[in-house]
Structure formats: structure tokens, C-alpha cells
Amino acid sequence: MVRSLKKLLLGNPLHTASLHEQRLTKKAALPILASDNLSSSAYATEEIVVALLAAASVGVTFPLYYAIPIALAIGLLTAIVAISYGQTLHAYPTGGGAYTVAKENLGVLPALVAGSSLLVDYVLTVAVSVAAGIAAITSAAPALYEHRVGLSLLTIAVILLANLRGVRESAAVFSGPVYLFIASAFLLIIAGLFRYVTSGAAVAHPLSAATAPETWNVAMVFLLLHAFASGCAALTGIEAVANGVTIFRPPVSRNASTVLYILAALLTAMFLGITVLSYLYGIGPREGETMLSQLGRAVFGQGIVYYALQIATMAILVLAANTSYADFPRLGSVMAKDRFLPRQLANLGDRLVFSNGMILLSLAAGFLIVLFQADVHLLIPLYMVGVFIAFTLSQAGMVIHWLRTQEKKGRRWRIAVNAFGALTTGLVLIVVATVKFLDGAWVILAAIPLYVLLCWRVRQHYFQVGLEMSLADYEKPKELRHTAVVPVAGMNKMVLAAIEYARSISRDVLAVTVNVDNLDREKLEKQWEEWVADVPLVILESPYRSIHRPLLLFIDEVQDWREDDVVTVVIPEFVARRWWQQFLHNQTSLFLKASLLFRKRIIVTSVPQHLRR
Amino acid sequence: MVRSLKKLLLGNPLHTASLHEQRLTKKAALPILASDNLSSSAYATEEIVVALLAAASVGVTFPLYYAIPIALAIGLLTAIVAISYGQTLHAYPTGGGAYTVAKENLGVLPALVAGSSLLVDYVLTVAVSVAAGIAAITSAAPALYEHRVGLSLLTIAVILLANLRGVRESAAVFSGPVYLFIASAFLLIIAGLFRYVTSGAAVAHPLSAATAPETWNVAMVFLLLHAFASGCAALTGIEAVANGVTIFRPPVSRNASTVLYILAALLTAMFLGITVLSYLYGIGPREGETMLSQLGRAVFGQGIVYYALQIATMAILVLAANTSYADFPRLGSVMAKDRFLPRQLANLGDRLVFSNGMILLSLAAGFLIVLFQADVHLLIPLYMVGVFIAFTLSQAGMVIHWLRTQEKKGRRWRIAVNAFGALTTGLVLIVVATVKFLDGAWVILAAIPLYVLLCWRVRQHYFQVGLEMSLADYEKPKELRHTAVVPVAGMNKMVLAAIEYARSISRDVLAVTVNVDNLDREKLEKQWEEWVADVPLVILESPYRSIHRPLLLFIDEVQDWREDDVVTVVIPEFVARRWWQQFLHNQTSLFLKASLLFRKRIIVTSVPQHLRR
């Protein structure tokens, strides 16, 4: 039944031979790699404005046009990161994720830090993107707002199911929503600017008119950096091109870097455009409606174009979440193959996807959604730290890569570019970690070392297992001798079957029974004499009615007493025809098997007796 | 750790020899057997009044003094039932519960009906008594009212724990609260009447002044019977003396019947007194406060005497619930010994109590408490049906008993008494089942046949097991021959250990491996040649990456191919030192063992390999 349900939901298992890579043109590859990054423009502006307004709570009022220079700074940062990553593409044409780059150039510890940051990131990409996607929908249909947590969880479930079935990252699925989002964002910006110029829309927000502070102090700089750090959410996902470089047609590196630069340009344009327009139209954060939605209604009116914008926003955010379903299990399986994570994460499921990783990802993201009630503002502070750790380590790794490389041409220039990238992202990391520390960044900063430790312990364990299983020092043992112990509860066919079996595997068979509750000793001994006179029966008294303890003590004694190599415990086991019938029998054999498993030099054998009816 | 916690909560295990019966005087026995019955006077009056008032919703107004003749009728019924049960005491001096009496005299089906009614009753006794006990407390401390469900569940948990520790039904525990409740109830009645006569308390309830209807129709009779049926809650627990007769000192039957009559007289007096007084003081039902509490406050004022009354009410109700913790597991174990219930219910726990039955009872009662939000009015309709089925079957069984008895003396009289008892309780049963049908009695009427069917199926199963396990047609098999199949995942020490073991138990050993993911065939075959050249290795291809299916198919093939008696599957099993390490390994062996258990003629052997570190 479980199998049928699984088949219905997931489809038929796929043949291992069906696993193959597809190679795409730039036009087809862009939407696949862009969704994560471009979708952040749906919420990045709002994060800046929320942070600027939050300053009011400590008595500082910033004029809202401050969002524009902040967005410009982030645009510059985007350019730096893109150029820096552009070099990674050339050095790692088979895919240069932060984990790989850090492992090859910086060593294991930085690689684990990068790997754990990335895994955390992927979880947050799902949580943030889904929450923001649902926010786009509930902005257009406010009646759904109170169901946002349920809707988010449902969305995650649908994405999970689609991925367990093995949705390929096909251009067919991605290009529609991504190009629609790009088109509607640019339409919004152009139409908005046109309308502002022609009709002069009012700058309605009360704070828009605030004047710049005249004197500056450290707290104010901190608050401004806070807004900058929040806006850096725009950068998330830009590393996708470097990770996914293998999907490009040759010349791989050239095609990939072209797409990377286009992506960075698109992001910067959209993000800046939305930020400027939000200021011009006096749009501010409001509970239950995103700023992008407010902007859309202000520019387009509540018509079909507005709804198209909301749906495109939702769609690209869902696709962004979806990319984590490829990245998280892929990185998980790479780290599992390096023995840093449980090997189950490296197993391909029925549909040739890393099912275990996907399920883990969904559970973690679902947990965050519930914990933070699908609130993007609360999730963002957890997001930034991991992203910038990965950026920094990746760029730093590239610096070492160029230092070691044999190729002389343009080496200095390359080192300079990546060093500048590493320095910049490192600085932003420090800013993000500091200003967002109390908002939630501390959770991630505390989790990463724990996670690294866990990876180490896992690797240590596998190493130890390898050592102990190794045949290097194996000595062929002398011939095995064993005593068979058969625990019985009386005399019946099931018991006789177990005794017969025990007799067939050993010449030393002992039966043992525990007298819990006024056993009829005489009757049992007489029956025993009649049926299996040649096997000694030991009757143990158990005044406290425990069955296990006397049995385990007895088995210990047999082990001490005989100098055999092993004791085989032959357990007669009752197998009912129907599941409910199994509950009508004591589960003694089950518990006995479980406790014997942890004792050394004991082999456990079940002799099942199947009920005919 | 689990064991330490269990020890802390439950105390040390007790020696089987400590199980003994104590014999008590009448004065000591009364409180133990009375709590269930007398405690119903705390809510029976209110049930009548609620039912009378409910008639208003269909346009019929009854004057509240109607409660008094209804209570009188119930008093008469109590007398009939008591006299009828008095005869059971003489016929069954070793305990005559409805199940026993019905089984011996009416046959298995009526016995199962009686048994299931009783088990349902015990659950409802716990639910109703605890809910009513908590209502007594929340009446005195209204702030706790909103926590009534939680408090009820907590109370059940405490009663369960006390009983798992093995609280003896000692007179020391029972007599205080029971006699205190009796004393405070009579003090209430006497003081209330005195105060009414001297100061003429007002009949304040608006409906108290309603006049009797002038014309009667069927609906009105139905409504009145409804009130009568509700009041019959007063009778619950009166059968306790007949069940618990063994606790009396000799002359057992005489002592027991004296206590029974005293109990019936006390109940009738208290119930009638409270009913009359409630009318005189114009007390009606009110959310959040019981009528008994209102009456107490009206008579005593909100002083220490009032609080004592509430605490005594709570205490006797908790004791009433507690009696089910002796009765339910006891009946459960009797029925389990008759093979109608799973045999686990007949096992004595660490502290010489039937722990499994107690846990089951608590879960069922807790479920009802949550479902009905600890509302006594909602629980009562479920309660009555079971009680009166048991009464009726018990009395009817006694009629047969007397018909069959050899003893001639007073035979006709005894038959007449029990027949009248059976007839009366049977009539009340029909009334209760009819008028309370839609209120919830239908649940019980539907559940009892299902339950009887379940008991039948359980018995059938045990019978079948007995038949199949019987040695009557046992033929000693010819000597067992077996093939050992060792599923392996590669070549290492764990595999070699399993192969060594397999070699020691069979001359035909086959190793088999499943190629899931590009196994290095050549390397494995070379290693195999080097270490265990004499054991053939079969490599199965699995393009769909399933490990189980190819293995199971292979084992089937081996079974068909060889004409051995059995196939022993020797599974190398990895046992880590720490629990979390076990998750780092595939659970293949576990799943394989589980699926092999259900195949015939297959013996499963685990050869555990314990990690040293």
C-alpha cells in the first residue's frame, strides 16, 4: 500500500542510466540561474526602508531618499561580486561552489564553514522566498493574509513533491515566469517614471519629507549600516552562475560569464528602479501588503497588469525556492561523499534525485516558516550572514588559487580582483554580523561552529569504521564453535521448530525458560522429557516477573562458562497473518532481540513460525 | 535511564510473593466500596434539574418540584437494585461481577455484552467522576474554571501514577474522605432544612413557581422520562459491593449485604435530601458552578464549612475514579484469561498491578475528557446505558442461577426478587437507551456490538494459535538441511565475520551483493578471490537502485532451486557505540530483516559487528 501511494505521488522509479546532463544556450540558462538572484529585488528595497524607519524607535529620523544611495552602494557591491565570481567561472569550469573552492584552496576547516553556511543559506532561501512569494499573493488577496503560514507550508510541500518526482531544471519551466517577472518589473519602472513625470505623483509618505540629520554620531552610522546590511538581501543567489556553470554549452566559461554580467546588470537596474520609484511614490512598509504590491497598484491601478505583476513575483520566488532543491541536496551529497555528512544524503532516490536531502531541506524551511510566522523581515537577519561567509571564503579561496596557479598571464590582475572581492564581501560580512547580531544573526554565528564540529565527528566516525573494518590486520579465525541457547515459554510446535533448527547448527543446545507466574514445572518437565529429552532445559526463577533480566544474566553465564567463540540465541518467533493479531502476543522476542544486539559475541537468530490462518 | 525514571516514579519492583488479599471489617470496607456510588449524589440532582429545564427548549415548562417525585422513584429503584444484588452476594461469595454472573448463567454472548458494558462504564466512571470533582473545585475557585480540562487530565495522571505504584485500596486512604463527605452532606441537609424552617429561605428560581401542566401528551412523558433517566446517574457504582465481596471478613455474605443496604439507604437519603433542599432554596444549574456548591454557599455562607464540603466532594469523586483503576484492570485480566482480550492485559506489572489495563483506562478517560471538555452533562448520556445493561444482565443471570440451583429453600422468592430486579432495570435500560439515544447513548449502543465482535475475533485467533501450535499431530522432521545466504555490500571484516559464521552453520554458503551504483566489479571479485575463494559470490544488477527487491527475488530463487528445508539469511550488522552514529549508516539490514520475517521457511540471523570506538 505504501508502495502504491509512493508510486502515485512520485511516479515509477527511474533507471540509473537515465541520469544525464543537459547543455543549454545562454538564453535558456539565464532564467534557470537567475530566479534566485532576481527574485530578491521583490523584497530588498522594502528591507532597506523598514530598517531606515526602524531608526525612529531610537529617536533618529532618516529621510527616505537615503534608500537611494544605499541601493547604489549595493549595486556597486553587486558589480564587485559579479566580477570577482567571473574569475571563478574561468578557473572552475566544472562548477565552483564556495565549498569546492574553499576545500581546494583554503583547507578543510574553511570548506566546512563555507559548506555549512551554504546549507543554512539554502534553507533560508526556501523560507524567505516562499514567505515573500506568499506575501505577493496575500498583498493582492488580503483575505488570505491570515492563512499565510499554512499557504507557505503548502507551497513548500508542492515544491518538495515536484522535486521528489524529479523536476528537471528545464528552461521550459523557468523561462516563462522569469522573463515575465523581468518584463513586468521593467514595465513598472518605466510606466512609473513616465507617470511621475507627466502627472507628478505625490510623495505621500510622512517621513519622505524628513531632512537629513545635521550632526552624525556612531549610533547613526550603525543604523545606516543596518539599512545597508538589510538591502544586501538583493545579492543573494548571485553565486548560482558559478555553481551551475556545467549547464552551459561550450565555450562554457565565456557563456557563463556573459550571463553573470547580464544578471548583475538586470538585478542592479531592477533593484535601483524599484527603490527610486518607491521613494518617488512615497511608498512605505505596511502590514499585510508588500511595498512592491503598493507600488504596482499606484502605477498600474488595481487591474490586470497589477495582478500579472503579483503573479509573476510569486512565480519567480517559488522558482527561487526551487533552486535550493537542486543546490542543497547536491552540496549535501558532495559533502556526504567527502564523509562529512551521513552517507544517506548521497543516495539517489527512486526518481534519481537525492530525496533525503530534499526532505531535510523542506523540514528545516517549514520549521523556520512556522517559527517566524512566514515573516520575511524576521527571516532576513538569519539569511545575510551565511551568504556573505560563503562569498568571502569563495573569493579568498580564489586568491589562493591564483597564487598557486602556473599560468602567468594576468595573474596579478586576477589576484587583485579576487582579493578586492574578498575584502569587500568580508567587510560587508563583518557589518552584517555586527549590526544584525541581535536581530538573529547570532543564531547562525552560533550554529555554524556546532555544525562544523558535527561534520568533523561524522568524518571521524566513518574513518574509525573504515579502520576497524579494514582487512589489513585480518587473521583468519580458527574454526567457530558455538553454543545455541533457545529461550522458550512452554512446549509447542513453535518451540520444537526452534529446537530443531538449533540442533542443526550446533551440537551444544540449551533451552531456557523464565518462570514468571506459577509455571507448572512438573508438567513442562514431563512434556520436555517426552519431546526433546536430549536438550537440557534450564528453568530460571523470576520473582519480580521480569523476563529479560534473568535471560540476559543466563546468557552471560553461558558465555563465561563455555569457551566457545560465540553464543547463538535462537528465538522462536510468532508471525501472525494480520497486523492487529501481532498485538495479541507479547513482544518479548522483539525486546530480547533489541537488547541482545548490543552484546558482544552473540548472534541472534529468529526462527519464525507463520500462522496458517 | 528509562529504568531509573521508572524506578523513581513507580518505586522498586515487588516480589510476586507479596501479592495477598486483606480482609476488612464492615466499617473499613464501606468507604472502599461506597465512594463510587455515594459520590454520584454530587451530580445526580443537577442532572434531573438540567433535564427538566431543557424541556423549555421544546415549549414545555415543568415546575421544578417535579424533581422530588423523580428522585423518589430513583430511590425506589435503588432499593430494588440493592435487594436484587443482595442475593448475588449470597450466591457468589467470591465476587459476582456482571461478567461472571452472565457467563456462568446466560452464556458467552451475554457475558461479553456485560463485560464490554462494564469496561465502558469504568472508563466513564473515571471521566465523569474526575470532571465532577474538578467542577467541585472550580465552583469554589472560579478562576480555575477555564483550566478544567487540563486539571482533569492532571488528576487522571496523578491517579494513574498512584495506581501504577500500587496503591492498595486501604481503609486508611478511603475512610477519611468518604466519611467526611457523608458527614458534610448530612450536615448540609440538616442545616439547610433548619435554616429554611427558621428563616424561610426564598424560592428564588423563576421556574420554581411554574405550575404543573394541565394536559399531558407523549412528548411530555418522554421529557419527564428523560429527567428520570438522567437522575439514574445516582445508581452508578452500587454494584461495587457485589464485585468486591471478597474484601469482607467472614461471615462474608452477611457482612457484605449489611453494607450494601446501608449504602443504598445512605445514597437515597443524601440524594433525596439534596434534591429537596435544592428545590427549597431555588437552586438551578449555572455555568461554572455546580448546584451542590450553590446550595453549600446558600446554607453555610462562603466560609470554612463550605470549602470543606467542596473539598470532600472533590475527594470522594477522585476516590470514585480510583475504584475504576482496580475494577477495570481486574475485569480486563479476567477477560484476558478467558482469551477475549489481549493477554498483555493479564500481565502483572513491576508493582504487582495490571499496569497495561490502567494505562489503557487512563488514555480512554483522558480522551473523553478532552472530547467533551470535562462537561459532566455531556458525559452522563454515555454513562447510563452501560450501567443498566450490566444491571439487567446481572439480575437476569441470577434468575437462571436460582432456576438451576439445587437448594430448594426460598427458591421461588429469590427467583421473584431477581426477576423483578431484572425487569425493572431492563425497563429503565430501555427508557435510558431511548430517551438518551440522540444525546450520545447511540455511541455506546453502537460500540458494544463492535466490541463483542472484537472479543470474538481475539478468542478465535488464540484458539487458532493453540490449534496450530498443538503437538497432537507433530511429526519429527527429518534432519534439517540449510543453505546460508549472506548479503554483503563489499569486502571488509564485518563481511568476513558473517561468512565465517555462515560457514560454521552450513556447508552451502552463498554470498550475494546488489550493484546499485557503479560497483567496482573487478576489484570486488579480486578481493573475494583473495579472502573467501571457496564461497561463491553472486552480483545482482539493480538499475532502479532498490536493494531489497533483487535480494528478495534472489532468495526466492535459492528456495526454489535447492530442495533444502530452510534458507538461513545471515546478515552482517553494524552496531555503533553511540546512538547517533547508527544514523550514519544505511538501515538496510533493519528493513531486510523486517521484510524477511514475513516469508516462510526463512531463518534470519544477525551477525553483529561492534565498533570498538
pLDDT tens-place string over residues A545-554 = 778 888 888 9
Instruction: Report DSSP state, residue A601.
Output: T
Could you give the percent of chain B with pLDDT greater than 90?
Answer: 24
Dihedral in degrees, nearest 10, Cα atoms B60, B65, B67, B68: -150
Residue A165 shares a structural domain with residue A279:
yes
Residue B457 shares a structural domain with residue B582:
no
Distance CA A275, CA A255 (A): 30
Q: Are A269 and A172 in contact (CB under 8 A)?
A: no
CB-based contacts of A549: which residues, under 8 Å, 6+ apart? A542
pLDDT in tens, B123-149: 999 999 999 999 999 999 988 988 999
Last residue of a domain, one of A428, A462, A496: A462
At B541, which CATH number? 3.40.50.620
| A612 touches B at CB < 8 Å | yes
Stretch among A20-24, B326-330, B505-509 having the lowest mean pLDDT: A20-24
Strand partners, B510: B485
Distance CA A156, CA B536 (A): 49
Residues of B in contact with A575 (CB under 8 A): 597-598
Average pLDDT over residues A453-478: 84
Residues of A in contact with B544 (CB under 8 A): 13-16, 350
CA dist list (Å): A2 to A9, A10, B547, B553: 11, 12, 17, 19
Residue A612, pLDDT above cutoff 90: no
Among all residues of chain A, which has the CA nearest to that of B482? Answer: A504
Residue B300 shares a structural domain with residue B434:
yes
Q: Are B72 and B227 in contact (CB under 8 A)?
A: no
So what's the pLDDT on residue B280?
A: 87
Q: Are B279 and B210 in contact (CB under 8 A)?
A: no
Identify which of A239-248, B44-53, B431-440 has the greatest average pLDDT: B44-53
Residue A132, pLDDT above cutoff 90: yes
Q: Are B611 and B581 in contact (CB under 8 A)?
A: yes
So what's the pLDDT on residue A167?
A: 58
pLDDT bin (cut points 50, 70, 90) of residue B189 is: very high
Q: Do B16 and A544 touch (CB under 8 A)?
A: yes
Q: Do B603 and A607 touch (CB under 8 A)?
A: yes
Residue B194, pLDDT above cutoff 80: yes
H helix or E strand, kind and range, residue B115: helix B108-140
So what's the pLDDT on residue A122?
A: 92
Q: Do B470 and A493 touch (CB under 8 A)?
A: yes
Average pLDDT over residues A376-393: 88
Residue A21, pLDDT above cutoff 60: no
Strand partners, B572: B607
**Residue B472 counted as domain residue:** no
Residues of B in contact with A574 (CB under 8 A): 465
**Residue B599 counted as domain residue:** yes
**Residue A19 counted as domain residue:** no
So what's the pLDDT on residue A127?
A: 95
The better pLDDT of the pair B437, B135 is held by B135
At A434, which CATH number? 1.20.1740.10
Distance CA B71, CA B54 (A): 17
Q: Looking at the 3D structure of chain B, how many domains does it have?
A: 2
CB-based contacts of A578: which residues, under 8 Å, 6+ apart? none
CA distance A43 to chain B (A): 39
The three state secondary structure string of B194-216 is: HHHHHHCCCCCCHHHHCCCCCCC
So what's the pLDDT on residue B170?
A: 60
pLDDT in tens, B513-567: 988 766 678 888 888 888 888 899 998 888 777 788 888 889 888 888 877 678 8
Q: Do B545 and A603 touch (CB under 8 A)?
A: no
Give the nearest partner residue to A343 out of B469, B586, B600, using CB atoms. Answer: B586
CA distance A411 to chain B (A): 40
**Residue A86 counted as domain residue:** yes
pLDDT bin (cut points 50, 70, 90) of residue A352 is: low
Q: Do A13 and B544 touch (CB under 8 A)?
A: yes
Strands A602-610 and A566-575: parallel
Strands A566-575 and A482-487: parallel
Name residue, grid cell 521583490: A42
**Residue A25 counted as domain residue:** no
So what's the pLDDT on residue B436?
A: 82
Q: Are A587 and A501 in contact (CB under 8 A)?
A: no
Residue A250, pLDDT above cutoff 90: no
**H-type helices in B301-375, by residue range?**
304-337, 355-371
Residue A105 shares a structural domain with residue A238:
yes
Residue A266, pLDDT above cutoff 90: yes
Last residue of a domain, one of A434, A462, A490: A462
pLDDT in tens, B577-594: 777 777 777 777 778 888
| B373 touches A at CB < 8 Å | no
Residue A321 structural domain: 2-11+30-462
Q: What is the b/e burial string over A318-351, where b = at least 16 CB atoms within 10 angstroms of the residue's CB?
A: bbbbbbbbbbbbbbbbbbbebbbbbbbbbbbbbb
Query: What is the value of pTM for the model shown?
Result: 0.70
| A342 touches B at CB < 8 Å | yes
Residue B400 shares a structural domain with residue B490:
no
| A11 touches B at CB < 8 Å | no
Q: Are B271 and B185 in contact (CB under 8 A)?
A: no
Strands A537-541 and A566-575: unpaired
pLDDT in tens, B204-229: 555 556 677 777 788 888 888 888 88
pLDDT in tens, B394-429: 889 989 988 888 777 788 888 888 898 888 888 888
So what's the pLDDT on residue B32?
A: 81
Among all residues of chain A, which has the CA nearest to that of B468? Answer: A611
pLDDT in tens, A175-195: 888 899 999 999 999 999 988
SS3 A486: strand
CB-based contacts of B343: which residues, under 8 Å, 6+ apart? A584, A585, A586, B336, B462
Average pLDDT over residues A344-373: 83
Q: Do B480 and A597 touch (CB under 8 A)?
A: no
Residues of B in contact with A504 (CB under 8 A): 479-482, 505
Residue A287 shares a structural domain with residue A412:
yes
Residue B446 shares a structural domain with residue B313:
yes
So what's the pLDDT on residue A168?
A: 59
Average pLDDT over residues A35-46: 90
Residue A419 shares a structural domain with residue A490:
no
Among all residues of chain B, which has the CA nearest to that of A579? Answer: B598
CB-based contacts of B416: which residues, under 8 Å, 6+ apart? none
| B533 touches A at CB < 8 Å | no
Between CA A190 and CA A200, with CA A194 as vertex, the angle to 5 degrees is: 135
Among all residues of chain B, which has the CA nearest to that of A573? Answer: B597
- Supply φ then ψ for residue A490, to 5 degrees: 165, -150
Distance CA B442, CA B424 (A): 21
pLDDT in tens, B55-75: 888 778 888 888 899 999 999
**Residue B473 counted as domain residue:** no
**Residue B17 counted as domain residue:** no
CA distance B481 to chain A (A): 7
Last residue of a domain, one of B397, B427, B462: B462
Residue A446 shares a structural domain with residue A497:
no
Q: Do A586 and B611 touch (CB under 8 A)?
A: no
CB-based contacts of B183: which residues, under 8 Å, 6+ apart? none
Mutate to test the interface with A, among B469, B499, B596 (most CBs of A within 10 A): B469
Mutate to test the interface with B, among A491, A507, A516, A605 (most CBs of B within 10 A): A605
- Cα A519 from chain centroid? 56
Residue B215 shares a structural domain with residue B342:
yes
Residue A499 shares a structural domain with residue A566:
yes
Identify which of A29-43, B472-486, B581-595 has the greatest average pLDDT: A29-43
Stretch among A228-232, A392-396, B237-241, B498-502 having the lowest mean pLDDT: B237-241
Distance CA A136, CA A307 (A): 10
Strand partners, B482: B566
CA distance B353 to chain A (A): 12
R_g of chain B, CA atoms, integer Å: 33
Share the mean pLDDT of chain A.
85
So what's the pLDDT on residue A130?
A: 95
Residue A153 shares a structural domain with residue A203:
yes
Distance CA B447, CA A462 (A): 55
Name residue, grid cell 537577519: A381
CA distance A354 to chain B (A): 12
**Residue A467 counted as domain residue:** no
Residue A174, pLDDT above cutoff 70: yes
Q: What is the DSSP string of A4-22?
A: HHHHHHH-S---GGG----
Interface of B with A in 482-501 (CB under 8 A): 482, 491-494, 496, 500-501
